Amino acid sequence: MILVTGGAGFIGGNFVLDWLKVPGNEGVINLDKLTYAGNLTTLASLKDDSRHIFVHGDIGDKALVSKLLHEHQPRAIVNFAAESHVDRSIHGPAEFVATNIVGTFNLLECARDYWNGLDDSAKKAFRFHHVSTDEVYGSLSATDPAFTETNSYEPNSPYSASKAASDHLVRAWFHTYGFPVVTTNCSNNYGPYHFPEKLVPLVILNALNGKPLPIYGDGQQIRDWLYVGDHCAAIREVLSKGELGETYNIGGWNEKANIDVVKTICTILDELKPRADGKAYVDQITYVKDRPGHDRRYAIDASKVERELGWRPVETFDTGIRKTVQWYLDNPVWIEGVVSGSYRDWLSKQYN
Ligand code: NAD
Ligand code: DAU
């Protein structure tokens, strides 16, 4: 077995679904707290699959995590569980400290205790894979080179600071205790099952619902976009071949300004689902107040993971974003399940 945390969220959910499609892969114990971002509908196709064991719980619950580890004896842990939305971290950072820092600490401690008790060969094979973000490196100017693994950490938001702290804990557990870790720092993901608080799914759903498409500030902030299936493939490579104690940057080689991402989505929707009034979706674009402390540019240099482990993204932005828009058009039931009262409360808190 492997233990996946946060496997009912966007990337974790995609990872579990993809993992179980790979012939020969072990089963998955999926530990998830089911916060507003966790969604069991994402995992509905695994309902009758005995290789998937879902456990509702918190990575910070040491008794539960220890019990799961001793009962199922996983050969790896992949830690996706986190509070992940920058805007929410600005409104309320406490949950980010609780899960991303204290939760990761508790998970590390339980895992280390379990690992210490393994026999030599199981000990050698064991991996703790920590899934992190490019945001820990801070913000780039237009002319700075892309982030490499040796960039210093300069997090600017409560979210990125909490992820940076978790990365430091993971690193220290390797250096101090010899605990077998690998860390990946990835750029912005997009794709199926993405909770519509984030830019790409928010714009798709707002466009279809005739609502404004909110662009923070001047819309010229740059992100490096990666299709989620490519991120999941990279994690599988790093988990199986990554050097212990190393970090790997994962990115799509796809730097785009936010306004261009939004215009691309509008153009695809104009083609796949034209507005009833014959107008263009770009007419719904609305510039709104900027995010406080908004990082200007992220860019990932993903050459280390390509050179050392042979991973490169398969999707271009054009192919990935088209698939994504089509997925949202084809999955109204999933959408219906996530746009609940609490989602509407968030929209009014953030955008009104
Ligand atoms: P998400 O918010 O969609 O999902 C997070 C999942 O973690 C949810 O299912 C939630 O219920 C669960 N969770 C939260 N707190 C928990 C806790 N205390 N115990 C157990 N489960 C808990 O996030 P995501 O976008 O899928 O991101 C997954 C990971 O990847 C995060 O660590 C994030 O920092 C990292 N990451 C995300 C991106 C991105 O673009 N989304 C890019 C790089 C890295
Ligand atoms: O870089 C990796 C990170 O990408 C992950 O670590 C985070 O978990 C993930 O949420 C994402 O963070 P961002 O803040 O970059 O993603 P978000 O979708 O919230 O915003 C993308 C860009 O779009 C950002 O510059 C802010 C802008 N934006 C966002 C929203 C929600 C808008 O202009 N309008 C919006 O309504």
- Quickly tell me which residue has 């490519």 as its tokens: 230
Query: How far apart are the C-alpha atoms of 198 and 223, rounded to whole Å?
Result: 13
Ligand 2 center from residue 189 Cα (angstroms):
10
Ligand nearest to the CA of 33: 1
DSSP state of 281: G
Residue at 11: amino acid letter: I
Q: Is the CB of 133 under 6 A from ligand 2?
A: yes
DSSP state of 147: B
Ligand 2 center from residue 82 Cα (angstroms):
15
Ligand 1 center from residue 274 Cα (angstroms):
33
Query: How far apart are the C-alpha atoms of 82 and 166, rounded to whole Å?
Result: 10
- Dihedral sign for Cα 160, 293, 348, 212, please: negative
Ligand nearest to the CA of 83: 1
pLDDT in tens, 287-305: 999 999 999 999 999 999 9
Are 106 and 98 in contact by the 8 Å Cβ rule? The answer is: no
Mark whether 343 is an active-site residue: no
Give the model's pLDDT for residue 104: 98
- Structure tokens belonging to residue 178: 């010899």
Kindly give the pairing relationship between strand 52-56 and strand 28-32: parallel
Q: Is the CB of 9 under 6 A from ligand 1?
A: yes
Of the CA atoms within 13 Å of residue 113, those in its CB half-sphere come to 14
Band (59; pLDDT cuts 50, 70, 90): very high
Ligand 1 center from residue 13 Cα (angstroms):
10
pLDDT in tens, 88-147: 999 999 999 999 999 999 999 999 999 999 999 999 999 999 999 999 999 999 999 999
Query: Is the pLDDT confidence value at 352 over 90?
Result: no
Please give, one letter per residue, the 3-state secondary structure of 27-62.
CEEEEECCCCCCCHHHHHHHCCCCCEEEEECCCCCH
Q: Is the CB of 82 under 6 A from ligand 1?
A: yes
Select which of 159, 190, 227, 248 is catalytic: 159
Q: What structural domains and CATH numbers belong to the chain? A: 2-191+226-252+298-316+342-351 (3.40.50.720)
Ligand nearest to the CA of 12: 1
The residue to mutate among 190, 218, 223, having the most atoms of ligand 2 within 8 angstroms of its beta carbon, is 223
Ligand 2 center from residue 216 Cα (angstroms):
10
Q: Is the CB of 242 under 6 A from ligand 1?
A: no
Query: How far apart are the C-alpha atoms of 100 and 92, rounded to whole Å?
Result: 13
Ligand 1 center from residue 121 Cα (angstroms):
31
Q: Is the CB of 10 under 6 A from ligand 1?
A: yes
Tell me the average pLDDT across 74-96. 98
Mark whether 283 is an active-site residue: no
Mark whether 135 is an active-site residue: yes
- Greater model confidence, 202 or 24: 202
Share of the chain above pLDDT 90, in %: 99
Query: Is the pLDDT confidence value at 326 over 90?
Result: yes
Ligand nearest to the CA of 16: 1
Contacts of 212 (CB under 8 A, 6+ apart): 206, 284, 285, 286, 288, 351
Are 332 and 183 in contact by the 8 Å Cβ rule? The answer is: no
Mean pLDDT (the chain, rounded):
98
Select which of 32, 58, 83, 135 is catalytic: 135
The residue to mutate among 87, 216, 300, having the most atoms of ligand 2 within 8 angstroms of its beta carbon, is 216
* Number of neighbours of residue 300 by Cβ within 10 angstroms: 25
**Ligand 2 atom closest to Cα of 163?**
6
- Structure tokens belonging to residue 319: 């192919």
For the chain, what is the radius of gyration of the CA atoms?
20
Query: Is the pLDDT confidence value at 23 over 90?
Result: no
Are 171 and 183 in contact by the 8 Å Cβ rule? The answer is: yes
List 257's β-bridge partners, or say none.
222
Band (255; pLDDT cuts 50, 70, 90): very high
**Ligand 1 atom closest to Cα of 250?**
43
Ligand 2 center from residue 334 Cα (angstroms):
21
Q: Give the distance between the most distant pair of CA atoms in the chain.
A: 68
Query: How far apart are the C-alpha atoms of 266 and 299, rounded to whole Å?
Result: 24
**Ligand 2 atom closest to Cα of 135?**
1
Query: Is the pLDDT confidence value at 338 over 90?
Result: yes
